């Protein structure tokens, strides 16, 4: 099971967006949809789906947060695995471009013969890259974190924190800014990737002025098997008490996480409308999830 799942917050478009993405990416499908009633956002759609065989979740919960490029997704097109990699990259770029905006045009760059950064019709950012892989193979989709503003220059600190928190984790490649690359400070992270719980992520610093930062529009949901794991991840990651709500937290860098029991997801998938309603009302009152109380609500006891 995928331990860390990218979670996307939409206004009302979660189902529509999931259908769009699963039509664009190969090896993709919607795995589950449900609607929560009587939440602070009214009726809320939740959609689980896979892109390129990797799990995502999306929620329609009102216009509270908007996507921005501080969290994006690399899509790796590897000619050693796909002889049509460049053509397939172009096809995906064309589909994601419809109603979208190019942040970096699709062209040759020093780090790739064919690369572009696109913000799609929903505002979600994708970095499509023709890779020249060396060493260990990277997955098709890799979430990427850009440390800007108050946390610019702290990408390596964040990576080290995350590596210390998750099992089955390791550092991958790291490339640093050199002299004369101001405003980025020499030695900070131009690009790095790293594995957490068996999943690859990327990170970079950018000291240029940006009008965005990490927010709740994209969070990383951590699946937990028991209360001990919930307590562990919550204690290691939560650094902003006022951001703790309904299993959500923010770390010291402003990145949003959700720490959630696998059992609750199973309740929400298998439960009757009455059971789902009870669990919903129970978790809406919580900050850190209490698995025993959620099970009581599900059982009606």
**So what's the pLDDT on residue 36?**
84
Top-tier CATH class for 71-205 = alpha beta
Identify which of 100, 77, 101 has the alpha carbon closest to the alpha carbon of residue 90: 77
Return the pLDDT at 135: 67
Query: What is the per-residue pLDDT for 158?
Result: 98
Mean pLDDT, to the nearest integer, of 249-259?
A: 98
pLDDT tens by residue, 26-79: 999 999 999 888 888 888 999 999 999 999 999 999 999 999 999 999 999 999
Q: Which residues contact 211 (CB under 8 A, 6 or more apart)?
A: none
Q: Are strands 170-176 and 189-196 parallel, antiparallel or unpaired?
A: antiparallel
pLDDT in tens, 164-205: 999 999 999 999 999 999 999 999 999 999 999 999 999 999
In whole angstroms, what is the distance from residue 130 CA to residue 86 CA?
Answer: 7
Q: Note whether 288 and 182 are within 8 A (CB).
A: no
pLDDT digits (tens, 9 = 90+) for 94-148: 999 999 999 999 999 999 999 999 999 999 999 999 998 776 789 999 999 999 9
State the pLDDT at residue 48: 97
Distance from C-alpha of 91 to C-alpha of 117, rounded to nearest angstrom: 14
> Where in the chain is CATH 3.30.720.110?
71-205
Asked whether 191 and 202 are in contact (CB, 8 A), the reply is yes
- State the pLDDT at residue 56: 98
Four-way CATH pick for 4-63+217-299: 3.40.50.720, 3.30.365.10, 2.40.50.140, 3.10.180.10: 3.10.180.10
Interval 216-230 mean pLDDT: 98
pLDDT at res. 207:
96
Number of neighbouring beta carbons within 10 Å of residue 108? 10
Q: Measure CA of the first residue to CA of the last residue in the chain; give whole Å.
A: 30
The pLDDT tens digits of the residues spanning 198-214 come to: 999 999 999 999 999 99
Q: What is the pLDDT of residue 41?
A: 81
Q: Provide CATH 3.10.180.10 ranges for the chain.
A: 4-63+217-299
Distance, in Å, from the CA atom of 290 to the CA atom of 48, rounded to the nearest integer, reads 23
Task: State residue 262's pLDDT score.
Answer: 96
Q: What is the pLDDT, as a whole number, of residue 137?
A: 84
User: Would you state the pLDDT for residue 52?
Assistant: 96
- Region 273-277 average pLDDT: 91
């Amino acid at each position: 099971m995928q331990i860390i799942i990218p979670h996307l917050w939409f206004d009302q478009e979660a189902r529509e967006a999931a259908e769009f993405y699963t039509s664009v990416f190969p090896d993709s499908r919607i795995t589950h949809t449900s609607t929560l009633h009587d939440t602070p956002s009214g009726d809320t759609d939740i959609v689980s789906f896979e892109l390129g065989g990797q799990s995502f979740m999306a929620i329609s919960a009102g216009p509270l947060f908007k996507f921005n490029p501080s969290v994006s997704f690399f899509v790796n097109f590897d000619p050693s695995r796909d002889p049509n990699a460049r053509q397939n990259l172009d096809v995906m770029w064309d589909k994601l471009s419809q109603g979208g905006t190019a942040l970096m045009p699709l062209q040759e760059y020093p780090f790739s013969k064919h690369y572009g950064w696109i913000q799609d019709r929903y505002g979600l950012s994708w970095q499509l890259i023709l890779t020249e892989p060396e060493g260990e193979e990277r997955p098709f989709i890799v979430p990427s974190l850009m440390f800007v503003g108050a946390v610019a220059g702290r990408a390596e600190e964040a990576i080290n924190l995350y590596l210390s928190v998750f099992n089955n984790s390791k550092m991958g490649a790291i490339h640093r800014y050199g002299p004369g690359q101001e405003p980025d400070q020499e030695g900070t992270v131009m690009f790095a990737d790293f594995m957490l719980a068996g999943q690859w992520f990327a990170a970079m610093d950018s000291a240029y002025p940006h009008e965005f930062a990490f927010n709740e529009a994209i969070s990383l949901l951590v699946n937990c098997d028991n209360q001990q794991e919930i307590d562990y991840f919550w204690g290691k990651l939560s650094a902003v008490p006022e951001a703790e709500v309904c299993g959500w937290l923010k770390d010291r860098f402003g990145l949003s996480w959700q720490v959630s029991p696998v059992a609750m997801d199973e309740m929400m998938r298998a439960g009757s409308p009455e059971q789902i309603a009870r669990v919903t009302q129970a978790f809406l009152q919580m900050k850190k999830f209490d698995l025993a109380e959620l099970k009581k609500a599900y059982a009606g006891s």
